[in-house]
Amino acid sequence: MHQKLALLLLSLSVSALASDPDPVQDFCIPSSKSTCKNPTLATPDDFVFSGIRSASNFSDTGLSSSAVNHAVFPGLNTLGMSAVRADLKPGGINPPHFHPRATEMVYVLQGKVYAGFVDSTNRVFAKVIERGDVMVFPRGLVHFQMNVGETPATVFGCFNSQNPGTQKIPNVLFGSGISDVLLEKAFGLSIKQIMNMRRRFLPKPHH
C-alpha cells in the first residue's frame, strides 16, 4: 500500500514539474534584488511592451525573430506565457526546430507561409497559411515555416510557458559536439561534408 502511494505521489510530482507553476499572486514584476516589486509600485507601463513594432536583424536564412519574454517584458514574469515575432523575407525560412517546454500557436499578420509540424510517427501536418490564419504546433514536436509568397511575411507566435526553450535541428546536429563518426553513420555523409556543415552551424568565436 505504501509503495503504491509513493509511486502515485512521485507521478504527481513529475506531472507538476512538466509545466510552469501556477502563480500565487496577481503578478510579480521583478525587482533588482531578484524578488517581486511591491505591487503598489507597479504601473501600466510594466504591462506594456513595444519592442516588436518592427522586424529585427535578419539571419542568412531570411528570418528575423524577436522574443517577447520576461527578460525583456517584466510584466510576463510568473504568468506562464511568452511570445515571438517572426518576419520572413520572400523565400526565407524558419528552420526545423522544437520547443521542449511549450505548445506554440502562430497567427499570420501578413504574407503567405508554408508551415507545419511532424508528429512522433513522422507524419507531416503542413499547409500554406495566410493573413488571419492561426496554426498550432504541439509541444515538443519539430515544426517549421517558409515564406512562399512574393512579399515579406510576419507571424506572431505565443507559448504556454515562460521559458519554452528552442532547439534548432541543424544547430543541434552540427553546431554541437556530437561525434563526427556518429553523424557519418547516421546520415551517410562524408567527414568532409560534416565539417562543411559544422562551419555553418558552430557558434562563432567572440573577438
Binding site for Mn(2+): what residues are annotated?
A: 97, 99, 104, 143
* Binding site as annotated, residues for oxalate: 94, 99, 104
- Mark 82-93 as b/e (b = at least 16 C-beta within 10 Å): bbbbbbbbeebb
- Mark 20-34 as b/e (b = at least 16 C-beta within 10 Å): beeeeeebbbbeeee
CA distances 122 to 118, 142, 179, 187, Å, are 6, 10, 25, 17
CA distances 45 to 29, 34, 74, 84, 141, Å, are 11, 19, 10, 20, 35
DSSP string, 179-202: -HHHHHHHH---HHHHHHHHHHHS
Give the C-alpha separation, 24 to 1, whole Å.
33
Give the C-alpha separation, 93 to 108, whole Å.
15
* Binding site as annotated, residues: 94, 97, 99, 104, 143
